[in-house]
Amino acid sequence: MFVLDFAHKVVKLLHSEERPMQIGFGFALGSVIALTPLSSPHNLLVLLLLCVINVSFSAGLLGMVLMSPLGYALDGVFDRLGHLLLVDLDGLTPFWTAFFNAPFVVFTRLNNTLVLGSLVASLLLLVPIAWLIAFAVRRYRSSWQAIILRSRFYRWFSMSRFYVWGAKAYGFVYGSGR
């Protein structure tokens, strides 16, 4: 049932009234959370931004879910990037010394090579991911949306007894407010 619910939410997001850039930046902010270690304090700030600014929160959740496996797969690359920034580049040593002597920086965990590398990489990818997702949403809405909504499979699936039964069961189990 999770797969059907997930697919339904993606289709609902694609057919929503939200602008493509709202969806794109929501997905990109969710990607920042997914690409960095979850226990990092900066993720609370990103989650707050996701809730406060005018972006798609659903797309943010989708970005977290879809980009988490990529974050785990790229941990080695992120760790090497963080090691490069913290240790190997001698020119940055005075900056890091001054930065880490500030009282609040102790709690950021940016002295961890994985945290720093993944944060830098995810911030560098923030705008490209947002533009790519916004482009994909625009492309879907202009060319594929009408085709999919008219397809026999979509009409059969949305009217099938299994779908109707699943939707009723889901509403019964989780309440009709969902």
Q: What is the model's pLDDT at position 107?
A: 85
pLDDT tens, position by position, 97-138: 899 988 888 888 888 999 999 999 999 999 999 999 999 999
Secondary structure in 3-state letters for the chain: CHHHHHHHHHHHHHCCCCCHHHHHHHHHHHHHHHHCCCCCCHHHHHHHHHHHCCCCHHHHHHHHHHHHHHHHHCHHHHHHHHHHHHHHCHHHHHHHHHHHCCHHHHHHCCCCHHHHHHHHHHHHHHHHHHHHHHHHHHHHHHHHHHHHHHCHHHHHHHHCHHHHHHHHHHHHHHCCCC
Cα separation, 175 vs 178, whole angstroms = 6
What total number of domains does the chain contain?
Answer: 1
The pLDDT of residue 178 is 44
Range of lowest pLDDT (62-76, 105-119, 120-134, 140-154): 140-154
Range of the domain at 24: 2-174
| The model's pTM | 0.81
Say what the pLDDT of residue 23 is.
Answer: 95
- Cα–Cα distance between 16 and 35 in angstroms, integer? 26
